[in-house]
Amino acid sequence: MKKILFISSSISGDKSHSVQLAQQFIAQLPQGGFNVDTLDLNATPVPHLEMTEMAAWMTPAEQRTDAQQKLAAISDDIIARVKAADVIVLGVPMYNFGIPSQLKALLDRIARAGITFKYTEQGPVGLLEDKPVVVFATRGGVYQGTPADSQTPFLQSFLNFVGLKDVHFVYAEGLNMGTDAQQAALTAAKARLVQISAKIAA
């Protein structure tokens, strides 16, 4: 059975449009063909990265103290779940023009030199096996394709950096711009997610 890793970064929980769209996407996939591993960063936040944790990564495993083993395990567990997934689904609301800080804290645990990327004379090389990543980007206003959309280029660059290049964005914008705008945005997003789910299930 294939595995989906669903990473939710909304502080609104199940009321979030990004969560609801992601759940609708997962429901479109063949029932019984996918097992869902959920990483809810609202229910279980990842602490912001500190130097003590990075030092634990850089210390050989056999030389780590108990405290360093616990710190290294935070990143090790996240990376193991990313590697085990066949499809990654990201729920990403826009907060103050950027990604949620709790998602940034998680991504900081994924970027590990020698584990998920390496530097070569030709530049950085991602070490993760490529797999589909579906990003549900929900916004109160309309930002796609404008300089105010910092989410898309950042996520695209980060995911490509660690080797994930099969990235699909589903936008739902204008959600706070009135009922008609919200419904139009959600209808378009649902049509898009159906297309992507059909491609992945094929």
Q: Is 10 annotated as a binding residue?
A: yes
Q: Is 143 annotated as a binding residue?
A: no
Q: Is 141 annotated as a binding residue?
A: yes
Q: Is 16 annotated as a binding residue?
A: yes
pLDDT on residue 157: 97
Q: Is 139 annotated as a binding residue?
A: yes
Q: Is 97 annotated as a binding residue?
A: yes
Q: Is 140 annotated as a binding residue?
A: yes
User: pLDDT-based confidence at 82, cuts 50/70/90?
Assistant: very high
Q: Which has the closest alpha carbon to 172: 22, 58, 7, 49?
A: 22
* pLDDT at position 130 over 80: yes
Q: Is 17 annotated as a binding residue?
A: yes
- Give Cβ neighbours of residue 135 (< 8 Å, ≥ 6 apart): 90, 92, 155, 167, 168, 169, 170
Q: Is 96 annotated as a binding residue?
A: yes
For the chain, what is the mean pLDDT? 95
Residue 153 in 3-state DSSP?
helix
Over residues 16-21, the mean pLDDT reads 96
User: pLDDT-based confidence at 167, cuts 50/70/90?
Assistant: very high
DSSP 35: E
Q: Which has the closest alpha carbon to 109: 47, 151, 62?
A: 47
CATH number for domain 2-201, candidates 3.40.50.360, 3.40.50.920, 3.20.20.60, 3.40.1260.10: 3.40.50.360
Q: How far is CA 11 from CA 68, 93, 99, in A?
A: 29, 9, 12
Minimum mean pLDDT among 22-31, 88-97, 127-136: which range?
22-31
* 25 touches 197 (CB < 8 A): yes
Q: Is 81 annotated as a binding residue?
A: no
Over residues 60-72, the mean pLDDT reads 95
Measured CA to CA, the distance from residue 53 to residue 63 in angstroms comes to 14
* pLDDT at position 126 over 80: yes
pLDDT on residue 88: 98
Q: Is 52 annotated as a binding residue?
A: no
